[in-house]
Amino acid sequence: MKKFLGIIILLTLLSFKCEDEIEFNDNQRLSFRGRVVDFNGEVLNNIPIEIIATRSFFDPYFQSGLNLEEGELAGTGFSDEQGNFSITSLSPLNAEIYAFVNPPESRDFQRNRTSFIVSGIDVDSDLRNLVFRFPNDIVLDRIANFRIQINRITDSIDTLNYSIRYSPLIPIENIEQDITASDIPEINEIGGQLLPTETLMSEDLEMRENDMILFSYSLSSDGIQKDSTITINAENRTFVFEF
Amino acid sequence: MLKTAPLSLNFRKKYCLLLCLGLILNLFAQDEEEDKGWKKYHYDVLGEAWVGYLSPQFYGDNFLSEAFDTGDGIIFGINVLPSDKWYAGAQFSSFRGDVTNTSLVGVFDATRIQQFYITGGHSFLKQESRLSLKGGIGAGYVGLRNERGFERFRDEGFGIMADLVVSYRLTTFLGIYASLQHQWLFMDIDVPADLRSFFRNVTLFAPSIGIKFSML
């Protein structure tokens, strides 16, 4: 009896495992093609590209908004000397494809560059000729370490409320129609307060070089919000706000 | 000064295997040499079975040549000889290849290539001779059983081949052979138009050596 019970448990476990696994089509391959450049249009070579098949969808708990941990790597390669790539991938059955340029999980991740994702690629509708071409050049900005510093230089005992909005390091271009834009984090935002007892605050952030960030602030006493935009570039890596 | 490269372990293994095979077969041959009536009793071969060691060599601009490191394998088959000059038969071969360039073929670990051919050909020497020289052609199924962890998927197609086989009968029933096959594989893999030639047209040489059993 115990023997039969063991077999039943084993079969049950196997059936659960089989359901989760992504299968691949026999006798079929897909091709993903594009070009990677930097902000100035200079080609970027040796950038890793991964083609991931997954059934999981947007997940707000992940930085990029995508839960790719359950995905299966179906294709991989690098951009060549001209920045071009042509990657052959397996063809997943009943799963969507995410093309991930410079993924942070990759062994060859270019740490000083941003990443880029095209999400929701459907094999049947988006790959009719078995080719997916990225419509435009994929731009990977440099990542800059940026410091925002707030100094209290008056005797005011007001509380300063502030927020900083900046572009995500992993922008997502979603081509899936049934997912709304609100599912995708198009902008990153952090915020905080400078309490009357504090005279100095600083935040160190990783941001995209050449990005425009929006610094918004208000005082608790009047509640009027004021905005200030800052452009990050090679010369401008620190923003000091004094009030 | 020239340096002599040490023999690789793989080559030594093959060399030892061949040496042992030769010694064993020579023992049979010594007994048979005493038989003075060779021509009288040994010409009427109805069929033969053979098994050998296969060392496929892919070449050209195709996915098996560019993205796989193929290993050696096994080949075996049978021939029926309805006449002194002609034969028909079947052969099966199996060997493994490890993926070395995933950007060209997709991400998986390895493949097992299996081929089943129906063959036929012509015997250039008379059967009463210990030495045999045959030339043949064949056509059949080619299957790649691709492995990706515990997952499996297949690539399939058909192949044609031409071969030249030299064999030598050491005894009434036992002989050795060496064969050189050239194969053209036509895979049925759906890919973008500009990759069709790369995935669908595969060429290889498939030399093999082994032993052959004659059925009188």
Q: What percent of chain A has pLDDT over 90?
A: 19
Chain A neighbors of B197, CB-CB under 8 A: none
Which residues on chain B are in Cβ contact (under 8 Å) with A107?
none
Helix or strand or coil: residue A26? strand
Query: What's the whole-model pTM score?
Result: 0.78
Q: Rounded to an integer, what distance in angstroms lies between the CA atom of residue A96 and that of residue A22?
A: 10
- Average pLDDT for A34-57: 89
Neighboring chain B residues of A33 at a CB cutoff of 8 Å: none
Nearest-angstrom CA–CA distance, B145 and B149? 12
Task: Residue window 130-149, chain A: list those with CB within 8 Å of chain B.
Answer: 130-131
CA nearest to B189 within chain A: A27
Which of A137-141, B37-41, B208-212 shows the highest mean pLDDT? B208-212
Answer yes or no: are the C-beta atoms of A53 and A95 closer than 8 Å: yes
Per-residue pLDDT at A184: 47
Which pLDDT belongs to residue B20?
Answer: 54
Instruction: Indicate whether B24 pLDDT > 70.
Output: no
> How does residue B9 score in pLDDT terms, banded at 50, 70 and 90?
very low
Contact B184, B35 (CB under 8 A): no
Going by pLDDT thresholds of 50, 70 and 90, the confidence category of residue A123 is: confident
The shortest CB-CB distance from A29 to any of B150, B151, B199 is to B199
What is the pLDDT, as a whole number, of residue A179? 42
Predicted confidence band of residue B3 (pLDDT cuts 50, 70, 90): very low
DSSP letter assigned to residue A61: T
Which distant-in-sequence residues (6+ apart) come within 8 Å of A38 by Cβ? A44, A113, A139, A140, A141, A142
- Per-residue pLDDT, A8: 64
Which residue, A179, A70, A76, is CA-closest to A121?
Answer: A179
Q: Do A89 and B106 touch (CB under 8 A)?
A: yes
Beta-strand relationship, A138-139 and A96-101: unpaired
Q: What is the pLDDT of residues A62-117, one digit of tens each?
A: 555 555 566 889 999 999 999 999 999 999 988 888 888 998 888 888 888 888 88
Q: Which one of B106, B150, B191 has the shortest CB-CB distance to A130?
A: B191
Contact status, residue B38 vs residue B178, Cβ threshold 8 Å:
no
Task: List, in order, residues 6 or more apart from A195 with CB less than 8 Å away.
Answer: A159
A13 touches chain B (CB under 8 A): no
Residues of chain B neighbouring A25 (CB-CB closer than 8 A): 153
What are phi and psi for residue B191, nearest 5 degrees?
Answer: -145, 165
- Does the beta-carbon distance from A77 to B103 stay under 8 Å? yes
Does ipTM top 0.85? no
Least confident piece of the model among A212-226, B150-164, B198-212: A212-226
For chains A and B, CB pairs below 8 A equal 65
Contact yes or no for A73 and B107 at CB 8 A? yes
User: Is the pLDDT reported for residue B49 higher than 60?
Assistant: yes
Q: How far apart are CA A36 and CA A44, in angstroms?
A: 6
Residues of chain A found within 8 Å of residue B191, distances taken between Cβ atoms: 28-29, 31, 88, 130
> 73-92 in A: which are within 8 Å (CB) of B?
73-78, 87-90
Closest by alpha carbon to A74, among A49, A107, A103?
A49
| pLDDT for res A39 | 87
